[in-house]
Every structure is written in structure tokens, then in C-alpha cells.
Structure 1
Amino acid sequence: MKKVGIGIIVRDSSGAVMASVSQIIRAGYDPLIAEATAILRGVQLALEAGFWHCIIESNAQVIVNLINSQSSVSSDVGLIVTDILNLIVNFRECIISFVRRNANKAAHCLAKLGVMSDSDGF
């Protein structure tokens, strides 16, 4: 079974890192499902940390566009997007934005670390 690493960094409004997670997902996932899962995990982490405002950045433009358009998509990715949309209503403000991979290096490094890890935990 294929291993996919995801990296999540939670920052406050000044950009200071408040939490970070590196996680491995074991499955034959489509890359879009892995990217959507990373966004979902980031939203969950921000909620668990008690943030009322959040900005979620991802280099998966297709997923970011699906979330921001609030489109209904009949697929596995669509189910994850629906979960994300159901969770972000709990924030006072939640912005989902696209960033290029080179602007998202820390999360990318955490994702690589997740692949090398033996832990499946969050």
C-alpha cells in the first residue's frame, strides 16, 4: 500500500507557528485526495487548538478552488471537500488560499518527514 505524507503548520495572525503535524496516510490515494485530506486535517487541528480565525494555505489549486466555490462534486474528493465545508462554518473567519509549492516549503518538508515516519498517528 502506498504511503503519502502530509504536513500541517498552524500559525497565528502574526505568522508565529502555534502547532505543526506530520502524518502518514497509508492508501492508494489519488494525489488530490491526499491534498484534500491535508486541508481537512489542518482545519481539524485549528478547531482543536481553539482558533476562531484561520488561513489555510495549500499548493493544491484544484482543491482550493473546489472549497472556495463550494461546489458539490460527486467523488471521493467531493466527500472530503464537503467535510471541510461543514467544519469551516465553526470559525468566525476561515480563508482557504492557494500558494505555490515554493512558498509552502515548511509544510512540504513536514510531509516528507511523515513519509519517512513509522507513525500513522496525528
Structure 2
Amino acid sequence: MMELGVGTIARNSAGECLAWRKRVYRFSIDPMVAEVMALLEEVKHGLSYGWPRVIFEGDCQIVISRVIAGEEDFSHLGPIVADIRRLLAQFLDSRLQYVPRDYNTYVHQLARSAVADEDG
């Protein structure tokens, strides 16, 4: 069984932290499925706050690119990608952007601590 630690931080337009969350996904499936499922859960979490404008950042460029592409995805990720797009459309304004892990240090630290918390 593999583990994927996920950290998210919600910031306002001034860059101030409004909320943060960390969680661990355990899976025995394709790691790419775990990444896209994690993004789906975070978009759902963003909707739960009721914020009209949201930017989601992630360090998995393949997943971000597939969702942004707008083309029908016929891969095994397709149904989940379609769900993410459908949920993103519920925001007044939403964006996804790729941020390399090296530039997303706070989120990366949250993700690592989520796994450490589960292990220890």
C-alpha cells in the first residue's frame, strides 16, 4: 500500500493564509489516479468554503495539464478529470496552475507532515 501526502493552503489576494489542510491518501492503484483523486477532493473542499474565486495550485504537471486542456480525456483518468472540470465551473472564477514543488514549500511541508503524522 502506498501513501500520498497532500497539503493545501487557501490564501486571500494579499497572500495571507485563510485556511490550510493536510491529509494522507492510501492507495494500491496507479499513483496518477491518486494524484487526480486528491485534486478532486481539494476542489470539493474549496467549494465547501463558498469562495467565488479560487486558484488551485499543484505540483503534478500531468494532472494540471489534463484538466486545463479542456479536451475529452479518454484515459482511465477521464471520468475524474471530467468531475473536476464540472466542479470548477461552479466557481465564479477558478484557475488551476502548476507550481513546481521547490516553489511550493509550505504545501510540500504540510504533505510531508501528513504522512509523518500517520506513521508516528
Shorter-normalised TM-score: what interval?
0.7 to 0.9
Q: 1:1-122 maps to which residues of 2 (within 5 A)?
A: 1-118=1-118
- CA distance in 2 between counterparts of 1:112 and 1:59 reads 14
Query: 1:38 Cα shift?
Result: 2.8
Alpha-carbon deviations, 1:49-102, whole Å to 9, x = none? Answer: 111000111111111111111222233322221111010111010011111111
- CA distance in 2 between counterparts of 1:111 and 1:79 reads 25
The normalised TM-score by structure 1 is 0.86
SS of the residue corresponding to residue 94 of structure 2 reads strand
Q: Structure 1 regions of 5+ residues with no counterpart?
A: none
- CA distance in 2 between counterparts of 1:38 and 1:9 reads 14
Q: Structure 2 regions of 5+ residues with no counterpart?
A: none
Alpha-carbon deviations, 1:2-38, whole Å to 9, x = none? Answer: 2211111111222111111111111123332232223
The normalised TM-score by structure 2 is 0.88
Alignment check: 8 A CA contact 2:5 2:25 kept: yes
In angstroms, what is the RMSD of aligned CA positions? 1.7
Instruction: State the 4+ residue runs in structure 1 displaced beyond 4 angstroms.
Output: none
User: Structure 2 counterpart of 1:57, which letter?
Assistant: E
SS of the residue corresponding to residue 95 of structure 1 reads strand
- CA distance in 1 between counterparts of 2:75 and 2:116 reads 29
How many residues were matched structurally?
119
